[in-house]
Chain A
Amino acid sequence: MPYDDQAPVLQFCGVDKSYPLGNRARRRTVLKDVSQDFAPGRMYAVVGPSGSGKTTLLSLAGGLDAPSAGTVRFRGRDLDRIGLDTFRRRHAATVFQSFNLIGYLTAARNVTSAMEITGVRRRGRKDRADELLGLLGIAAEDRHRRIQELSGGQQQRVAIARALACEVDILFADEPTGNLDQDTADDIVDILRKVAHDDGKCVVVVTHSAKVAAASDEVLHLKRGRLSRR
């Protein structure tokens, strides 16, 4: 079945997610009957208290996990049918709260490796990685240093550069400004807005920051596993 260009770029349809507890007979429900459409060219902020299921929602949306019930669709197609690996490779990129960069690679190689995996064309990969790293404030001499040699803030920016470099349809970010100073955090929010508004991508940000939420086009509130609009 081909993709439906008229369908939402991402769609949650009655999604439940639960995890087995220690004795496996009982399960803990994290998300309950979540239904939500996400459109391209918009930036969404998902807010909620700790333990409300924000990261779980992001995992399902980013194709890192599958729902216990209901479906998650990309342009009208179930992620199960697309294949979670394929979905992640072609359509979604995630900026993790803990950066999740490959320690033995340099900043630039973290970005170019992700571009290779997601199938960005070979020509111009290095230039694009340089451009994005520069845009995110990574100095030229730091781009060829290994990740362990960079500060937490620099690593966060490299993680964002990597996600942006993948040329995907949807960008997910889990607390992208959590480790950054205010000026850099503002820069990151600007970049994410541009990605949504100028590049026409769908950006979903999980945040505790009121400032990030305020900069978003739509704020979704997650409480006790239920998603609602504000």
Chain B
Amino acid sequence: MNLFKRAWWRLTATLGKTLLLTGLFFVVCALVLSGFLIRSAADRAAADAKDQVGAVATLSFDINALMESGRAENGGASGARIDPDDRLRSGKADALGKSPVVTRFSYKVESAGLATEDLKLYRAVPPPPAADTESGDFFKVEGVRDLAAMPSFRNGTSKLVAGKGIGPDTGDGVLVLEKRLADANKLEVGDEVTMRSFPGDGSKGKKRQFTVAGIYTSDTASSSQYTPALADPGNLVYASPNAAGALSAVTPTDEGSDIQEATFTLRNPGDLPKLKKQAAALGLDPDIYPLAVNDKQYKQLVGPISKTAGFATLTVWLVSLAGVAVLSLIVASSLRERRRELGILLALGERRPRLLGQHLVEIAACAIVAIGLAVPASQALAGTAGSSLLAGEVSDAENDKADEEKNSYADSMGGAAQDEEPAAEPIEDLDVRLTGADLAKVGAAGLGIAALATLIPGYRVLRLKPRQILTKGD
């Protein structure tokens, strides 16, 4: 077609301008494509991170919500108590754990046990002679469904050093002891021990027999001053939920033992609403047992890369808009320069849309060449700029983390609870890969910019009157 030939002749005749326009397009396309590459690398990393860590949703009892709901029973001196029908029991947690959105779950039955001759309490510092040891002289027993899913084991502050942990299929007659306690009692994996239940009324309770299934170490040090045995981390004993329930003062029901908290690892943090629905269907009041997702680990992993991707997206938009503006101005200026040519072609009878078409073909030809050149350049640019941006974000994240840890330490000294979520190292590498989809996106963006840059100032062509141009000169 004539307009294609004319466009080609024009591009080759005015090579300097053609190169200038191609260069400008190259810069725009390289920046836009780099942005897309960083964005898609970040998306891939985020998807991988989701698969890697998932997100932990915690179902816990909110006593304040219970009080406000007016459904609390008067518990006398102990304050409000929840209606037995509304209580969270291991049976409900088991049912919720079967949800397809849950990859793993655990819960904790808090209980206590009294020492026996073959399982004595661990004491880092002997009690002073005048101390009242009665009130705190017992083991803290935690009945867990999945020991490995417990926060202290997930974040590595506790580690199993011998034997096995406690899993969904573990029997009820086993205990996992802290190494200090095992050493103090000269116990090894496989040894038989006894522990008395904790009736809570000062009586001795029933003696129950257990096998030491595993021994673990905890990073939490014993106090250098005397503390009640209950508060010493060496006296924390893990058992199965049923075993813990049997040791407890509260007798387990058909629905299992009362539990204070259950944790569910989700396939995807976005699956929380589905889990909430399923919890409500099991009769758990969402106000009294709120389900909250702790996606901190996921955020720690993808935080810096997401910020880099956000910056890349912003760059794509800014560069695209600036590209449209700059190229529109250039094309507008070129149209002004070419008024005489346009007038001549109009005087010959050329159709106005075809004049515009010739411009579009010229700009699109420059854009296509620029996109071709931008492909290798943008991969290098995205790799370098993306890594540099990401390194900055990772460094900021690490500084924030260090500050947080400092604050957390200060809080823990003040008695506040420590964050139990395992720390995650942020993603530090950007896997820049050019895909067909990226190329299609930048092709569409480049040609879209070319079209806009031509059509916005192109309305002038449609309003041109050849006589005015040709008789009044330029």
Contacts and interface: CB of A to CB of B under 8 A. Distances in A.
B467 A65 contact: yes
A101 B340 CA distance: 9
B455 interface: no
A3 interface: no
Contact of B470 (A64, A85, A114): A64
A57 to B, nearest CB: 12
B349 A90 contact: yes
Given A55-B471, A64-B467, A116-B2, A146 B347 contact: no
B130 interface: no
Interface of A, secondary structure class, is mixed
A85 B346 contact: yes
A103 interface: yes
Interface residues of A, number: 29
24 contacts: A55-B471, A59-B467, A64-B347, A64-B465, A64-B466, A64-B470, A65-B465, A65-B467, A88-B347, A89-B348, A89-B350, A90-B349, A96-B470, A98-B470, A98-B473, A100-B470, A102-B341, A104-B9, A104-B14, A105-B13, A113-B2, A117-B348, A117-B349, A146-B13
B470 A117 contact: no
A93 to B, nearest CB: 8
A109 interface: yes
Interface string B440-474: 00000000000000000000000001110011010
Name the 10 nearest CB pairs between A and B, nearest first. Answer: A89-B349, A104-B13, A64-B467, A88-B349, A116-B2, A65-B467, A59-B467, A100-B344, A117-B348, A117-B350
A104 B16 CA distance: 13
Nearest to B468: A65
Interface of A: 55, 59, 62, 64-65, 85-90, 93-94, 96, 98, 100-105, 109, 113-114, 116-118, 146, 166
B2 A103 contact: no
Interface string B124-139: 0000000000000000
B32 to A, nearest CB: 31
Interface size, B (range): 20 to 34
B471 A59 contact: yes
Interface string B4-42: 011001100110000000000000000000000000000
Contacts of B350: 89, 117
B10 to A, nearest CB: 6
Contacts, number: 64
A100 B346 CA distance: 11
A183 to B, nearest CB: 28
A90 B349 CA distance: 8
B343 interface: yes
Interface in B169-199: none
A113 B471 CA distance: 22
Nearest to A96: B470
Given A96-B347, A104-B13, A146-B13, 8 more contacts: A64-B347, A89-B349, A93-B348, A101-B344, A102-B345, A113-B2, A113-B5, A117-B345
A197 to B, nearest CB: 25
A100 B339 CA distance: 11
Nearest to B11: A104
Nearest to A148: B13
Contacts of A116: 2
A105 B121 CA distance: 101
Contacts of B433: none
A105 B349 contact: no
Contacts of B9: 104-105, 109
A46 B73 CA distance: 113
Nearest to A97: B471
B336 to A, nearest CB: 15
Nearest to A109: B9
A102 B344 contact: yes
A113 B346 contact: no
B277 interface: no
Interface in B387-440: none
A101 B348 CA distance: 11
A217 B350 CA distance: 32
Given A64-B467, A116-B2, A88 B13 contact: no
B204 interface: no
Contact of B2 (A98, A101, A117, A146): A117
A105 B7 CA distance: 11
A86 B349 contact: yes
